[in-house]
Amino acid sequence: MRKFSIILISGLFAANFAVSAQAADYGSPGMGMEKMKGDGMMMGKHRMSGTVDKIDHAKGTLVLKSGMADMSLHFPPPSVKDLKNGDAITVELSFTKGEPPMK
């Protein structure tokens, strides 16, 4: 019984490290702040992969379906002309606080 308990605890301990490592890796490549064009600092940079769904080529909109959440995205229509439902893509997102909207 003691041997079984040691094996069980060791397995739970190893699983804890695996989950912690996966959580620590989420979004880490771009979490630093990088200089953008202008004086603003890029914040909250994030990369997300998923599958294209509900694409509207005329409007440039699509839904990115991923394991975490579905995300509605908008792009300039010419940039999505070659995409189709079911395509696997990766998007990179970021924001800048306090900058006036682009015109």
Q: Which residue has the higher pLDDT, 8 or 14?
A: 14
Helices (H) then strands (E): counts for the chain: 1, 5
Per-residue DSSP letter, 78:
G
d(CA 81, CA 58): 9
- What digits encode the pLDDT tens for the residues 60-98? 999 999 988 899 999 999 999 999 999 999 999 888 888
Q: How sure is the predictor about 15, in pLDDT bands with cuts at 50, 70 and 90? A: low
- What digits encode the pLDDT tens for the residues 33-66? 344 444 456 677 888 999 999 999 999 999 999 9
What residue segments make up the domains of the chain, in order of their start? 1-29, 31-96
Q: Which residue has the higher pLDDT, 26 or 69?
A: 69
- pTM for this structure? 0.53
Per-residue DSSP letter, 63:
E
Task: Give the pLDDT confidence score for residue 31 in this predicted structure.
Answer: 38
Helix (H/G/I), strand (E/B), else coil: 20: helix
Task: Give the pLDDT confidence score for residue 94 in this predicted structure.
Answer: 87
CATH of domain 31-96: 2.40.50
